[in-house]
Amino acid sequence: MRLFECGTLVPGCDWHTRAGEDAEVVRRTVDHMRTVHGETVIRETMIDNIKARIRDDHTAGQTA
């Protein structure tokens, strides 16, 4: 699984998401940015920032 923690991009936010593919993590994160953080315009740099912070999730104790 791949993991993105919003707190790595938006300090203080506890939201996180897991998915099998980076593309799905990015999609969910963009949704989150729009609905929770009011980012109506998602720039390419934002996508890059999200991708740079996606990491392998070892906390679930299983492999994807």
- The footprint of Zn ion (CB under 5 A) covers 6, 10, 13, 15
Residue 8, judged by CB atoms within 10 A of its CB (0-12, 13-18, 19+), counts as middle
Residue 37 beta carbon to Zn ion: minimum distance, rounded to whole angstroms: 6
Residue closer to Zn ion by CB (options 52, 64) is 52
- Please state, in angstroms and rounded to a whole number, the distance separating the CA atoms of residues 55 and 37: 22
Residue closer to Zn ion by CB (options 10, 30) is 10
Residue 9 beta carbon to Zn ion: minimum distance, rounded to whole angstroms: 7
